[in-house]
Amino acid sequence: MNSIDQIRLNFSAESLLLLNFLLAFMLFGVALELRLWHFKYVWQNPRGVLVGCLAQFVWLPFATYLLVRWLQPTPSIALGMMLIAACPGGNVSNFITSMAKGNTALSVSLSAVTAVFSIALTPLNFAFYGDLYEPTRQLLRTIAIDPVDMLRAVGILLALPLALGLYVAERFPAFTAKIYQPIRKASMVLFGLFVVAAFAANFRFFIDYIHVVVFVVLVQNTCGFAGGYGLARLAGVPPYDARAVAIESGIQNSGFGLVLIFTFFGGLGGMAITAAWWGIWHLLAGGGLAWYWSKTPSQPTSTDLKIQ
């Protein structure tokens, strides 16, 4: 059996194009929920948003680097962990926050703000930590990716569907109200079917190597949820808001990570399997956390009630 650093998952150019389209469609659906007031919310609730951004862009990448130093996975798995940590929050974080009886308005605002910041910070965080750790630095040199190309791809994949969705939502609110739910549901179903098909095409690789990434994803994802909540509480953020911060930090856009992996890394085994398993696990963990929190609802503040 080949090393996980040596395998490449089966993924055609047509499949990559379809994955790009489905991801853009999902992000467009997410953006339909956004309104300009979600960005104004940042100014009215700076502490929660600031802590959420720190958890997303500082805590999780740094914690991931420490985990890589401690666990010392193979270079491609380490690189996959770093890429996932550098990605923006996942598309279902707002729904899970609502299930968890957390501050959904803060969650949506964080999704909007971090998606914009990710255009620059995803490539920068990934490049910084990938170069900081010697085994991943050596692997990146053999792959020889162009950081400018990655920055351009991130900008297109994130900025265009988000900007289009925000424009449609603001310009045509009645039309948006009719199409929002069908688009969100359709995008989730189509993306899920695509993942199942991709999984089936690479079933042998997953069977052979999935055990290698289960533990590292479990620990990294736990750091995301626990670190986000802990940072928020240490900063004096109330539990109602801290739940949103925790979920935004623990739910990462693994689909976006997979697009980058197949675009720039040729479906490198350790990276792809790590991102794919993260995409499954964070939903299970996030759903479990939301179920637990739903049994102990926290109370929103008067400010939260007013703005929602």
Environment class of residue 189 by beta-carbon count within 10 Å: exposed (0-12), middle (13-18) or buried (19+)? Answer: exposed
Q: Residue 69 has which token pair?
A: 């130093």
Q: What is the CATH number of domain 16-307?
A: 1.20.1530.20
User: How much is the pLDDT for 302?
Assistant: 42
The per-residue pLDDT for range 96-136, each reduced to its tens digit, is 888 898 888 788 778 878 888 888 898 899 989 999 999 99
pLDDT value at 18 more than 60: yes
The phi, psi pair for 188, rounded to 5°, reads -65, -45
Task: State the SS3 of 247-278.
Answer: HHHHCECHHHHHHHHHHHCCCEHHHHHHHHHH
Q: Are 157 and 20 in contact (CB under 8 A)?
A: yes
Q: Residue 237 has which token pair?
A: 């953020």
The per-residue pLDDT for range 237-275, each reduced to its tens digit, is 999 899 999 999 999 988 888 888 888 888 787 888 898
Least confident among 20-29, 227-236, 269-278? 20-29
Q: Residue 250 has which token pair?
A: 């623990």
Q: Are 252 and 279 in contact (CB under 8 A)?
A: no
Most confident of 84-93, 150-159, 194-203: 84-93
How do the domains of the chain map onto residue ranges?
A: 16-307
Residues 175, 298: Cα–Cα separation, whole Å? 34
Using alpha carbons only, give the angle 59, 96, 45 rounded to the nearest 5 degrees: 60
User: How much is the pLDDT for 307?
Assistant: 41
